[in-house]
Structure 1
Amino acid sequence: MHEASEPDTGRLARRLTAHAVLAHHPAVPDIAADYWEMSRDHYRAVDGRLADAVAGSPDAGAAYRAVLADPDDAALHHLLAERLERLLAERPHDRERLAGAVAGADPHIWIDYHLGGGPGDAYGTGPVAPDGAAEGSGGDRQPGVRGLPEAHVVIPFRDREGGTRTRNLLACLRALADQSGGAAHRVTLVEADSEPRTRALVDGLVDDYVFAYKDGLFNKAWAVNVGAVAHAGAPALCVLDADILVDRSFVHRNVARLYDGGHAAHLPFTWSLSLDEESTLRAIGLRNGEGRAGVPTTCLRGLLLREPPGGCVWTRTETFHEIGGFDERYEGWGGEDDDMVARLSAAAPLIRYDDPLLHLNHTRPAMTRDGVPFNAHLEPMSWSAGMGYGDVAKFRDQKS
């Protein structure tokens, strides 16, 4: 998502700014602890060289220290990039040394930082549709084109506070209702909770609402399986998190890929852009409020996760059922997506595309219990269809 067309010095200045933010922003370790562990030494190596380079420059040094003091301020990020660009132009030796540090670090980082726009237009306008997203009329879902099978989109969900998760769900559903290209799709929402909280809110936005009783820890894996079993007739299946905002040609593009590409499953993204709150509101406003076909990443800001296993997975329905869906022993945060993608890959060809994946902001869930990942005790890839899956009544006997 970085602008390859920028002058080399300008692009390098932005990459150095990104590394400074990644090394010091407190949200970076929290977004994905394992990705942080793999990346932090690379951030710190670049940041250390950057600190040395700006030490002798009052302007660049002041901008660098300002970013460290307030790493969440986008205006300060733009100011640092501006001043670094001037500094690098004046100091070819430092430019060469820092370019080498960035080139050595970037292939090894798993969390990156995306800063949209420029200093005077931090969230400027640009082409509205992302790459591969066709412009077209919105509105109701369209009947399928002959030869292109129906898609079933399953969304697992829980929000006991009725907060940002519910806001994101409604944005996700409205974007799914605004699809073009002629690929028919059915949306099933599975609310796995102790009581149905969103039924009235989603009326008219989903084809199927399923309440699946489950108290205690959220079980995404089981909720997905319940939805997939509830409507197993569509040949194409999409497992979509409720916090993903899709463009207008999302369904048509991915169903066509699934049946033209000769593969059984795919993830339509390489990097997932986790938007900050300001960018989240902007993205929802453009996509749903203004009815845009898509949201340009040039107007957004957030952390990029490299090749995450979840968020949006497309698969042929028969392949999903052959492997028994998700492993329902996973509860709480973490591991179920990794396991599912690993088992899909073992069963049939799975590939990735490079669409933008916009992840709307929400409060982060607990990742561990007593310092230990929730599902550390489970053996990956040990689930099979013979173990039974998708029983909506599985946890009803837990009711008091």
Structure 2
Amino acid sequence: MSTSPEPAVPRLAERLTAYAVLAHDPAVPAIAADYWARSEAHYRTVDAALATFVADAPAAARPYGEVLADPTRAAAQHALRESLTTLLDERPEQRKRLAAAVTEADRHIWIDYHLGAAYTAQPLPAASGAPGPRPRPGTAAAHVVIPFRDRAGGLRTRNLLACLRALADQEGGPGHRVTVVEADSEPRTRRVLEGVVDRYVFARKDGLFNKAWAVNVGVVESARDAVSEPAYVCVLDADILVDRFFVARNTARLRDGGHGTHLPYRWSLSLDAPSTLRAIALRNDDGAADVPASVLRGLLLREPPGGCVWLRTDVFHAVGGFDERYEGWGGEDDDVVARLGAAASLRRYDDALLHLDHPRPAMTRDDGAPFNAHVEPMSWTPAHGYGDRRKFTVTTP
């Protein structure tokens, strides 16, 4: 019977420190309640073994206690890693047991932790504002659709502008169009966005945000104005920071891969506030092609369904786009990915996906029930009709 090789001591020390953070940082259950429920027991198991391991070793117990007191402090985590490296070298039998516990837990967790070696929480100057005017491409092979709402006029708008600047800084690929659909009771960001996107669409809707409907409106409305509809659609959340070859790489995959849909990542890195500022500054203000993981800190979500989906336009229309019955947080991405995978082959790739920090939305109704428990998954078809911008403003007698 083969067994997994024991990780190198520094790597094991790093993983043990990560489990201490995952078990005690309040941001972990807050980022995705369902992922936390799947993972919590494994965090607790490894962390309990780590607490026992360091209990009689003051040099390690001290930084371990500091990590528990403030799981966001990078200095305490680096100190714990160093002390654990020494202690693990001195105790080979205990090291084997801890390595086995980590290896087993790693197979099951859905939220992981990343701390880059060069990460710093020192504040940076605020990133500059909106991108310059965006010229319309004569022809476009790809259409990037971004659903959006920001009633506070704050971090979400900042993130959208950073996303748009990164999309304007693309090389090596075909022409692409960018549409932002603001689904709200009033066009709060029209002045900011007009001229810096190829198309700004205001879709009037009060109440809960409906990402699914906003995406469908963006695809359908923009197709009416185009001489020819682009071959590929990218549905991109407004808080994703892309690298310079994002469009080139993903259009080539769809062109050459023989599949209908792909998600370009397996892990999504949700950045903390300092990492978000640093990533925006490096990518947009300094003009870096991408952002090195070594300067970032955040939580990794395993195979989330949303954030960024690339697909052939014909496949989008074949399934009727997103299911517009989903409102509020959760469900629409899982549903559309399942239906897309049933309609044509679906793949995942291993690109980095950087999710910028912003306030978390409510994930349940006031009574604690899921927003969309009433929707039957995979029951949406083109016959429902999709992408009607007047859907929430026209009253049916």
Aligned alpha-carbon RMSD (Å): 1.8
Compute the displacement of 1:200 (Å).
Answer: 1.3
1:215 paired to 2:212: no
Q: Equivalent residue for 2:328?
A: 332
Shift of 1:256: 0.3
SS of structure 2 residue aligned to 1:372: coil
Query: 1:216-295 maps to which residues of 2 (within 5 A)?
Result: 216-232=207-223, 233-295=229-291
Contact 1:139 1:178 in 2 (8 A): no
Instruction: Find the aligned partners of 1:14 and 1:348 in 2 and give their Cα distance.
Output: 40
Q: Which amino acid aligns with 1:203?
A: E
In 1, the alpha carbon distance for the partners of 2:279 and 2:318 equals 37
Residue 58 (structure 2) pairs with residue 61 (structure 1): no
Contact 2:173 2:251 in 1 (8 A): no
Instruction: Encode CA deviations 1:22-81: one digit per residue, 9 max, x unaligned.
Output: 011111111111111111111111111101100010010111111111111111111111
Given that 2:134 and 2:197 are in contact with CA atoms closer than 8 Å, whether structure 1 keeps it comes out as: no
Match of 1:129 in 2: none
SS at match of 1:20: helix
Unaligned runs of 5+ in 1: 1-6, 125-137
Supply the distance in 2 between the matched residues of 1:48 and 1:364 (Cα, whole angstroms): 29
Runs (4 or more) in structure 1 with deviation over 4 Å come to 138-145
Alignment partner, residue 311 of structure 2: 315
1:42 aligned partner: 42
Partner of residue 84, structure 1: 84
1:296 match: 292
2:377 alignment counterpart: 380
SS in 2 for 1:396: coil
Whole-Å Cα distance in 1 between the matches of residues 174 and 277 of structure 2?
28
Normalising to structure 2: TM-score of the pair? 0.91
The residue that corresponds to 1:165 in the other structure is 156
**Which residue of the partner structure matches residue 106 of structure 2?**
106
For residues 307 and 70 of structure 1, the distance between their equivalents in structure 2, rounded to whole angstroms, comes to: 28
Hey, what's the Cα distance between the residues in 2 that align with 1:228 and 1:86?
Answer: 56
User: 1:75-94 CA deviation, whole Å, 9 max, x = no partner?
Assistant: 11111111111111111112
Residue segments in structure 2 that go unaligned for 5+ positions in a row = 1-6, 122-131, 224-228
Corresponding residue of 1:127: none
Q: CA shift at 1:142, angstroms? A: 10
Task: Give the CA deviation at 1:306.
Answer: 0.2
Shift of 1:198: 0.8
- Determine the structure 1 residue equivalent to 2:175: 184
> What do the CA deviations read for 1:314-366 (whole angstroms, capped 9, x no partner)?
00000001100000000000000000000001111000000000000000000
Q: Which residue of 2 aligns with 1:362?
A: 358
Cα deviations by residue, 1:248-284 (Å, 9 ceiling, x for unpaired)? 0000100000111000000000000000000000000
State the aligned residue count: 373
Q: Does 1:203 align with 2:194?
A: yes
Distance 1:180 1:31 in 2: 33
Q: What's the offset of the Cα at 1:144? A: 8.8
Whole-angstrom CA distance in 2 between matches of 1:170 and 1:229: 23
Report deviation, 1:143.
6.3
**CA–CA separation in structure 1 for the residues paired with 2:142 and 2:17:** 42
Deviation per CA, 1:115-160: give whole Å up to 9, x if none.
101xxx4359xxxxxxxxxxxxx99779699xxx610000000000
Distance 1:123 1:268 in 2: 28
The SS at the match of 1:354 is strand
| TM-score normalised by length of structure 1 | 0.91
